[in-house]
Amino acid sequence: MKNILRALLPVLFLFGSVVNGFSQPLSPRQIDQLVQRSMKTFDVPGMAVAVIKDGKVILAKGYGVRSIKTGKKVDTHTLFAIASNSKAFTTAALAILADRGKLHWDDRVQKYIPEFQVYSPYVSADFRIRDLVTHRSGLGLGAGDFMIFPDGNNFTLPELIHNLRYLRQETPFRSKFAYDNLLYVVAGEVVHRVSGMSWEDFVQKNIFDKLGMTETAPSLKRVKDRS
């Protein structure tokens, strides 16, 4: 995933330059050359590129292979994991619930997850829904990530929430930005407890289905073709 993102950076930069008028529009051939050069530079076996302007698809094309073993080509229907881009869907799910009056951004987390506790009892009691998604909890960069990475570890969701109380804060609460993953797991659990639906079901029903995103899945388990 990191390699794919790195390969996309020069592509996105040049597309952005076109939009801002710093260069002439790229031809399909130039785009192909740019993508292929980026893939070679960053050792990416396969990727897909889409350009949408004014609601219309200007370009949609696959490059390389989706599997080194099978050699199956990437096309416009190939699915890619979006990693932390899924955080946007968690925040959107919370926003939907807030719009429906089911929760408020300044509600305390313990209102919905009574067992939620971080290292400081004071911070635990004052922790709000918005604090789960703004990366200003005071925890250090990537605190507790070894409980969820790499894939295949044995920590359950209740254990992840419980273990937050053992992670010391590195900075005062709400004083500094530090990227966090675990608290988004907690945010997903808030979605579950407020809606009565799993995060996956809620996102599928209220976002993907509503937008007609028929080739998007909220989890790997729901992907039919994993090749």
pLDDT tens sequence across 138-171: 999 999 999 988 765 789 999 999 999 999 999 9
Residues whose CB falls within 8 Å of the CB of residue 13, separated by 6 or more in sequence, listed in order: none
Same-domain status, 73 and 11: yes
**Opening angle at CA 204, ends 212 and 154, nearest 5:** 145
Same-domain status, 69 and 164: no
**In angstroms, rounded to a whole number, what is the distance separating the alpha carbons of residues 85 and 76?**
19
pLDDT band at 19 (very low <50, low <70, confident <90, very high): very low
- What is the model's pLDDT at position 222? 86
**For residue 31, what is the enclosing H or E element?**
helix 28-41
Which of 27, 57, 78 terminates a domain? The answer is: 78
225, part of any domain: no
- What is the model's pLDDT at position 4? 47
- Please state the rounded mean pLDDT for residues 116-145: 96
- What is the model's pLDDT at position 25? 77
The letter for the amino acid at 1 is M
SS3 for 17?
Answer: helix
Is the torsion defined by CA of 26, 32, 35, 41 positive or negative? negative
Does residue 185 have a pLDDT over 50? yes
**For residue 52, what is the enclosing H or E element?**
strand 46-53
For the chain, the average pLDDT equals: 89
Give the CA distances from residue 125 to residues 16, 79, 111, 128, in Å, rounded to whole numbers and listed in that order: 44, 41, 10, 9
pTM (2 d.p.)? 0.82
122, part of any domain: yes
Which of 48, 78, 108 terminates a domain? The answer is: 78
Residue (of 222, 197, 206) closest to 93 by Cα position: 206
DSSP character for 73? B
The letter for the amino acid at 87 is K
* Burial category of 91 from C-beta neighbours within 10 Å (exposed 0-12, middle 13-18, buried 19 and up): middle
Structural domain count, the chain: 2
Tokens describing residue 174 = 């709400």
Same-domain status, 25 and 101: no
10, part of any domain: yes
65, part of any domain: yes
Tokens describing residue 120 = 């400081």
Same-domain status, 96 and 195: yes
Same-domain status, 104 and 25: no
Residue (of 215, 182, 220, 171) closest to 76 by Cα position: 215
- Cβ 170 vs Cβ 138: under 8 Å: yes
